[in-house]
């Protein structure tokens, strides 16, 4: 009985909505980040850069909801060997950490440049660093490097999901579809 239930477990509709919403926003944000013009000290936050700040503000809001939801709604663990369970938990923890640290570093950098960050053009976010702050400027470099780390961990995560589906042929991928 118990085994059957955990094999057919799927994440709740809201958890799945949040997962795929964040996935879409992150892919868009990486593309915008790498195609937008280089940012210099006199750059204005217009065009693609404005899009990056707007999508970034949405990521911050959705991640705040997602973390609160996850802390109050633990999913049923997948049936995995102890080693795979450890690898899976470690990757998910790393993803959550990067999904928090990367946007916060970008936001602090935007504040240090004196750029306003707001949600859907209406809800202003507070500045995370004073204008001209050297820490805020350094966080811009950290943001850029960690965006690559995030991409690498996402690639590992997707490879693992496909491995479950096509090599192990288990029901792990179905849990999130």
**Residue 2: CB minimum distance to ligand HEM, A:** 17
Angle at 114 between CA 113 and CA 118, to 5 degrees: 110
Burial class (CB in 10 A: 0-12, 13-18, 19+), 144: middle
Min separation Cβ 83 and ligand HEM, Å = 14
Nearest distance, CB of residue 117 and ligand HEM, angstroms: 4
Minimum distance of ligand HEM from residue 122's CB (angstroms): 15
Residues that bind ligand HEM (CB under 6 A): 19, 22-23, 26-27, 29-30, 33-34, 39, 52-53, 56-57, 59-60, 70, 75, 78, 88, 92, 95-96, 99, 102-103, 106-107, 109-110, 117, 140, 143-144, 147, 150, 154, 157-158, 161, 172-173, 175-176
At 79, is the secondary structure helix, strand, or coil? coil
């Amino acid at each position: 009985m118990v085994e059957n239930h955990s094999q057919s477990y799927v994440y709740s509709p809201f958890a799945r909505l949040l997962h795929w919403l964040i996935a879409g926003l992150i892919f868009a944000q990486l593309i915008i980040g790498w195609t937008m013009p280089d940012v210099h000290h006199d750059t204005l936050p217009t065009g693609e850069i404005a899009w990056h700040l707007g999508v970034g503000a949405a990521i911050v809001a959705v991640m705040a909801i997602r973390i609160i939801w996850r802390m109050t709604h633990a999913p049923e663990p997948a049936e995995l060997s102890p080693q795979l369970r450890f690898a899976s938990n470690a990757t998910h923890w790393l993803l959550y950490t990067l999904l928090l640290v990367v946007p916060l570093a970008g936001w602090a950098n935007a504040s240090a440049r004196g750029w306003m960050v707001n949600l859907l053009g209406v809800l202003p976010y507070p500045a995370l660093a004073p204008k001209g702050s050297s820490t805020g400027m350094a966080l811009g470099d950290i943001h850029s490097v960690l965006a690559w780390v995030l991409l690498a961990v996402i690639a590992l995560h997707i490879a693992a999901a496909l491995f479950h589906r096509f090599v192990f042929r288990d029901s792990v991928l179905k849990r999130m579809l």
